[in-house]
Structure 1
Amino acid sequence: MEAAAQRNSVPPERALPFFTFVTAVVALAGTVTAVSLIALPSEVPALPVAFWLMAGLAVVCDARPFTPPGRRQSSAVFPSICFTFAIMLIWGEAPAIAVQAAAVVVASWRMRHTAWRALFNIAQYAIALTAAYATVQLLVPDLPYVAAVVAAAGVWFAVKYGTVTVAIRLLTGGHWWRSVSHGLAFELLSTGALLLLGPILASAARANAALIPLVVVPLYAVYRMARLSTEHEQVGRLDPLTGLANRKALLGEVADRLPGHAERAARHAAERHLALLVLDLDRFKYVNDALGHAVGDRLLVEVANRLTAAVRPQDVVARLGGDEFAILSGRLADPAEATDLANRIVDVLAEPVPIDGLPLDVGGSIGVAVYPEHGEDFETLMRHADVAMYDAKHRGDAVAVYAPDSDHSSPERLSLLADLRKVLETTGPKGAVGGGAAGVPGAGRDGAGGRDGGAGREAGGAGEITMYYQPQVEIATGEVVGVEALLRWRHPRRGMVDPEELIRVAEQSAVMRLLTRRVVDDVVEQIAKWAAAGLPLRAALNVSVRDLHTGEIADQIDDRLTRYGVPPDRLQLEITEGALMADPHRVLATIARLDRIGVAIALDDFGTGYSSMQHLRRLPLSEVKVDRSFVLGMTDDADDAAIVRSIIELAGALGLRVVAEGVEDERTWRMLHAAGCHVAQGWFYARPMPADELVSWLARYHPLRPHPIT
């Protein structure tokens, strides 16, 4: 073993207690060994060849110590231990201390240790050998020799390991138990084996000095096996392409550093923060596809070199896989330093990488998570840095710091998703389950945003998902021509759940499929019930991007329409331009199948997406819905009014029906009527309501009086 420090520098806040302890150990060593060492020169001439042989082997063997990776800094293996322990058993502690000191000097020179570090190591060994020798002298009269030697080895280990552990704790901080336990098993095995080899060497020396060199063979075999094990572990902790640390090594680094940062945070000390940055390269797939994986690999190696050059020596750069990297930066006085580091990396990557004369751009997005603000363990920090990275990509920024608002996979939302699955699996397939099903902003709206609270409070029992319906009224005649299905859920603990939040969570999981199937079942069955009661209403429901990607929804709708005997034109699906842009080819294929079935398609939130003219020309649409953000501003904003009129004129020229969402007052209704809008929905007519309330509302509704009925 060796002294406890990975670097020769000592943190300023720990310098005094650490060096005080080092001074105390050195002083104690000088005190307990002074008498025996003073008498040593007179004993040297009488020392036999066996002693000098073991002394020479101890010094030579310690010229090649090694430290297994992933161990604490004190875990280097020094073969001299077995020789000096044997010398102590035969000739006493003074010769053993002298030989051990010579071996430490050689090892420290080879490992470039500072003078104080070498002195501290010598002092540790001196105290350990003195304590072990005293144990043997004390126990031999009363115990068998073997038992006394084993006890002495235990005392040696306890003293040496204890002093190193205290030094590590004072130097790096952290919890005492972690300082004691980290690496204990390895050192018990390696150091214990060397110590217990000492009595065997002592017996060989007493029998014949020529037997002593033979111990080099098993020592070398152990050394080689340990070296191979070390190399194997190193391979498991390094990325084979770039030579950077991998995820496993990064996990170990975080685990090693967190205790010290935790202590600094508790003391409100400076440099208490630790930052984890996750970098994902942009357009790397294009490089692989266009130029081949060999060029892609060379690009990754260059990125690794640039990242290593951009960070501090004590920071850790790791490759997580593919084109994703991570940087662990500790001892930050302020979280803003992490952002500064991220911006510095962005600048470093801004310069194109020339490969075979071709300059390649290697920009990327970086997510930042800071300890302890954004997490207190590796997995939490990594997940939050990932969330921030994807947030940066989504916003088109180079750097983003973790924000809970952008975390769609927070524990709260995961819990919400689990509750949603539970509700879907425990209520019957024809139960009060609903819809809006499905993943677009309109699924959670009634034309008045948060003002739907009153309707939500009338939802079914606690923990039930319910379908509400909002009338769609023809502006010219006041006739109710359809309804839009909207999702409502009263959670047993959270109360009314924001439908948009619910859909954002569900759409990223398999629960979305369960929700959509139930919504389609419920809406189609409700259409059939209305038809049987003499109400030939058309119902519109929103569908998610996930539904449109799989195409399964077309088969499901065809099956349900046939089962309930509902004409296809009584059902309308609303899609958004965002859904189209997610994967145009697969979405268009699904829409084409629905059109062949006879289901009408409406383009929802029109005016807020992209390539609107192209969509209007190519899609088999029957209707466009003007986004409520424009409708709500018509009466006060001339630009909004102009946009609405333009959409109405464009859709009319293409033969499409126009529906305005968010109609909340008579003035807006009159402006839409004057502009030639066909259909309106909103609080001016009615708020969303359950199916049975809708029937009652229709019975009281008068087409010539389009105001809400109270």
Structure 2
Amino acid sequence: MTGLCVLAAASAFVAGDRLYTAVVCPSLCFSFAILLCWGLGPAIVAQSIAVFVVATKLKHTMGQAALVAGEYAVALGAAYLVIVIGDPDPFHKTATAERLGDAVTIAGSALAWLLAYNLMVWIAARLRLGPARSRRVTESLPYQTLFKASLLLLSPVLAVAAHINEAFVLLIFVPLYAVQRMARLSAERARVARVDPLTGLANRRALQRRFTDMVATREGPHIALLMLDLDRFKHVNDALGHEVGDRLLVSVAQRLQREEPVDGVIGRLGGDEFAILATNLHDVTQAELIAGRLLAALAEPLRLDGLPIDITGSVGIAVYPQHGEDFATLMRHADLAMYEAKRRGDTAAVYDPASGHTSPQQLGLLTDFRQALETKREQVTLHYQPQVSLTTGEPIGVEALLRWRHPGRGPVPTAELLQVAEHTAVMQLLTTRVIDEVVQQVAQWRADGLNLRASLNVSARDLHGGEIVDQLARRLALHGVPPELIQVEITESALMSDASRAHATVERLAALGVGVALDDFGTGYSSLQHLRKLPLTEIKIDQSFVGGMARNSDDAAIVRSTVELARALGLRAVAEGVENEYTRQMLAGTGCTLAQGFLVARPMPGDMIPAWLARQAPPLPPTHPTPAAVLVDHGVNRGLDGVARMETP
């Protein structure tokens, strides 16, 4: 029986993961049977030999083996005490009542073993690791208890079988294998619940539980949560396939693990997002140093299928307790800091509560805006600002502008709203709403006898997805609107964020027959290749240049050069922010095509456009710059008195 106990120990294995592990070994079934047949001493000897065999196989220290052997010895002693009190003799008594009493006694001894063993494990863990960290050791006790209870209750069957016929002992290996298999599957399910299946890192649930342990046991004043997001990971999936993308994530996980903080843990949240918990930090600077080491670990290119792939990422940092006292809050703030790092072009950023777009007020604003789009549609409206020809004064088109009146704050500036919404799914809701209303409004104007082109703005998120093309096609067909009466305005920053996907979407829009305008030209990272490669119809000159023409010769030169560039490429040039007659005359002298601004008209609801058109005077004659305008254009006149400028709200 001792030999079988040692043989069973040789089949032991470790179940669990890096955070929570348990040793599964069936030797207890044999040592407890020895206890029933031959007493406490032989049982302790057999179990101790089995423990040291397991320790050797799993490369544990002899100190650890001695501790576990002691725990087993105490548990066997508690079980033997119950047996002595019950005085069972299952091999010689014949009375049914006495046999039933023996069964109850043996069941009680098994229960005593479980209670004593779990108590010893709990005490040892608290003494070695402290109250909170002991949870990491005792986490697997429920699964171990089920497995060990099964072994203990098989032991009486094994003992009786051995007493009757030694050959019957071999039959015990079938149910023993089933019990061990059950324990392995149970431990695997527990592991899957805590581990990311692709990389083997901790998942969100394990990170949260580890954070709870850190909060209870931290030695330093701070715990940091770092969120790391890979840059342009979608390009790898699109170009090389998801299988290569998965291999890239596994390689990234391996590199990050080499820089895992002491007493910290690295996990994967999903996609290309990773999270790192670090404890015992004395200030935020230490968290930034950890972020630097993690990013440095990714600096060397990976080679996948013979191709070198550069890996870069952005890290957001949130620190307990300054930036949040619970895991969910820290996660949200670290995520916001990570997007702030991407927005600024930095590799890492620490959460800043004072930053406007990451404040709780702005997050609440985003929630309110989503609700307004979904359930309170009357709060969100579109106003239309006319665009007129600078040579004839004839209205040519309109631009759709977003307006939202918050029930508590009143009108919300569009720039503030888009700043918090552009990286979220709310932008898709907004784009869907704008497309539906603009196309429907153009159809209504056509029914009233008006053929006005309407422009609508889209975000970088819309260009990267491409769904906007399909949605426009469906709406144009539904309302019978010619595609040339709709124009999409895109910004240079949207093109720069993911040029290949943005260009593909623009090409599809042009193939649909929809016009494409490059908005806010000159304010972003301008690249003339966009003008050469993209099927554009219009360039919009930003109001920051147009509004400064009368006072700044540099602005005037930029506007004039942009108009000449547009004319050479066969594109319309539209000047935004035209707010006085003098600026209009200067623009007409440059050959600019269209003007848009308060001088022409303020934005107005769509149903007011027909009345506005009816009030317009006959088309204006062509105008040319006055002598004063020429002086400004050549940089002689540095300022004009009496020129009024109305600020755009």
TM-score by structure 2 length? Answer: 0.71
Moved more, 347-356 or 181-190: 347-356
Label 1:212 to 1:175 Cα distance change in 2 as closer, same or farther (>3 A).
farther
Q: Is 1:583–2:502 an aligned residue pair? A: yes
Whether the 8 Å CA contact 1:135–1:151 is kept in 2: the answer is yes
How is 1:673-684 mapped onto 2 (pairs within 5 angstroms)? 675=590, 677=592, 679-684=594-599
**What corresponds to 2:627 in structure 1?**
none
Quote the offset at 1:191 in angstroms. Answer: 0.4
1:360: which partner in 2?
308
2:8 maps to amino acid = C
Q: CA deviation at 1:626?
A: 1.2
> Any residues of structure 2 matched to 1:176-575 within 5 Å, and which?
182-204=139-161, 206-207=163-164, 210=166, 214=170, 217-218=173-174, 221-222=177-178, 225=181, 229=185, 245-246=199-200, 249-251=202-204, 253-264=206-217, 269-270=220-221, 272-279=223-230, 285=236, 306-311=255-260, 324=272, 326=274, 328-331=276-279, 333=281, 334=283, 336-352=285-301, 360-368=308-316, 370=318, 372=320, 397-399=346-348, 405=357, 413=366, 416-423=369-376, 463-472=378-387, 483-492=398-407, 495-500=410-415, 501=417, 504=422, 505=424, 508-509=427-428, 512-526=431-445, 528-529=447-448, 531=449, 538=452, 540-544=454-458, 545=462, 550=469, 552-554=471-473, 556-557=475-476, 560=479, 571=485, 573-575=487-489
* Alpha-carbon distance change, 592 to 327 in structure 1, aligned in 2, over 3 angstroms: closer
Tell me, in whole angstroms, the C-alpha distance in 2 between the residues paired with 1:133 and 1:226. 27
Secondary structure of the 1:486 match is: strand
Deviation by residue 1:156-206 (Cα, 9 ceiling, x = unmatched): 212211332344456556769967983344223210011112323443455
**Structure 1 482/71 Cα, relative in aligned 2: closer, same or farther at 3 Å?**
closer
Which runs of no fewer than 5 residues in structure 2 stay unpaired?
Answer: 89-97, 621-642
Pairing 1:81-230 to 2, within 5 Å after superposition: 81-114=28-61, 116-138=63-85, 144-168=101-125, 182-204=139-161, 206-207=163-164, 210=166, 214=170, 217-218=173-174, 221-222=177-178, 225=181, 229=185
SS of alignment partner, residue 399 of structure 2: strand
Q: Matched residues in 2 for 1:71 and 1:149: separation? A: 37
Cα deviation, residue 575, structure 1: 2.0
1-structure distance, mates of 2:521, 2:21:
66
1:645 to 539, 560, 581: 560
Give 1:37-76 correspondences, 5 Å limit. 54-70=1-17, 75-76=22-23
> Which shows bigger deviation, 341-350 or 382-391?
382-391
Amino acid at match of 1:661: E
* 1:58-90: CA deviation from partner (whole Å, max 9, x where unpaired): 345335432222497573234332333334444
1:526-583 Cα distance to aligned partner (Å, 9 max, x none): 4644x5xxxx684533143557852552564466356xxxx988x4525225467553
Aligned to 1:663, the other structure's residue is in SS state coil
2: CA distance, partners of 1:478 / 1:516: 28
Structure 1 position 667, deviation (Å)? 6.2
Q: Unpaired segments of 5 or more residues in structure 1?
A: 1-53, 425-462
CA distance 1:270–1:116, change in 2 (3 Å): farther
Q: Is the 8 A contact 1:627 1:661 kept in 2?
A: yes
- Paired with 1:108 and 1:618, the residues of 2 have a C-alpha distance of 68
**116 and 619 in structure 1: CA distance in 2 versus 1, 3 angstrom threshold:** closer
> SS at 2:310's partner residue?
coil
- CA-based RMSD: 5.2
* Match of residue 594, structure 1, among 513, 517, 530: 513
* 121-130 vs 148-157, which moves further: 121-130
Aligned counterparts of 1:72 and 1:316: Cα–Cα separation in 2:
9
Cα offset, 1:150, TM superposition: 1.1
How many Å separate the matches in 1 of 2:551 and 2:84? 100
CA–CA distance in 1 between the matches of 2:374 and 2:180? 56
Q: Distance in 1 between matches of 2:483 and 2:41?
A: 100
Measure, in 2, the Cα distance between the counterparts of 1:314 and 1:179: 12
Q: Is 301-310 or 343-352 further displaced after alignment?
A: 301-310
Spell out, residue by residue over 1:609-643, the C-alpha distance to the aligned partner (whole angstroms, 9 max, x if none). 6444763797463x532112222444554432321
CA separation in 2, counterparts of 1:108 and 1:616? 71
Q: Given residue 615 of structure 1, which amino acid in structure 2 is its aligned partner?
A: L
Could you tell me whether the CA contact under 8 Å between 1:317 and 1:328 is conserved in 2? yes
Q: For each residue in 1:339-377, what CA deviation from the matched residue of structure 2 results, as whole angstroms up to 9, or x when unmatched?
A: 434433443443455789x78243322444557577888
Q: Is the 8 A contact 1:307 1:317 kept in 2?
A: yes
Q: Which amino acid aligns with 2:236?
A: K
Q: What letter matches 1:331 in structure 2?
A: T
1:615 to 517, 523, 531: 531
Are 2:507 and 2:535, in contact at CA under 8 Å, matched by a contact in 1? yes
Q: Is the 8 A contact 2:509 2:516 kept in 1?
A: no
What amino acid is the match of 1:250?
A: N
Contact 2:17–2:191 (CA under 8 A) maintained in structure 1: no
**CA separation in 2, counterparts of 1:691 and 1:355?**
55
Counterparts in 2 of 1:344 and 1:222: CA distance versus 1, 3 Å: same
Contact conserved, 2:147 with 2:180, CA < 8 A, in 1?
no
- C-alpha distance in 2, partners of 1:693/1:639? 38
Q: Deviations over 1:441-490 (max 9, x none)?
A: xxxxxxxxxxxxxxxxxxxxxx4322323344566777766543322122
Change (3 A) 1:559 1:672: same
Match of 2:623 in 1: none
Tell me the distance in 1 between the aligned counterparts of 2:194 and 2:142: 23
Letter in 1 for 2:456: N
Structure-2 change in CA distance of 1:137 and 1:415 (3 Å) = farther
CA contact (8 A) 1:88 1:95 kept: yes
Structure 1 residue identity aligned to 2:177: A
Amino acid at match of 2:521: F
Aligned counterparts of 1:654 and 1:482: Cα–Cα separation in 2: 21
Deviations 1:105-142 (A, max 9, x none): 44444444445534433443333233333334445699
8 Å Cα contact 2:83/2:106 also seen in 1: yes
Q: Deviations over 1:234-278 (max 9, x none)?
A: 9979999xx97346x53464255222123246xx74463354534
Query: How many angstroms apart in 2 are the aligned matches of 1:234 and 1:495?
Result: 51
CA distance in 2, matches of 1:568, 1:226: 64
Structure 2 CA distance for partners of 1:401 and 1:281, relative to 1, 3 Å: farther
Aligned length: 592
What is the letter of the counterpart of residue 385 of structure 2? Q
SS at match of 2:24: coil
- TM-score in terms of structure 1 length: 0.66
Identity percentage of aligned residues? 36
1:587 and 1:647 mapped to 2: Cα distance?
Answer: 21
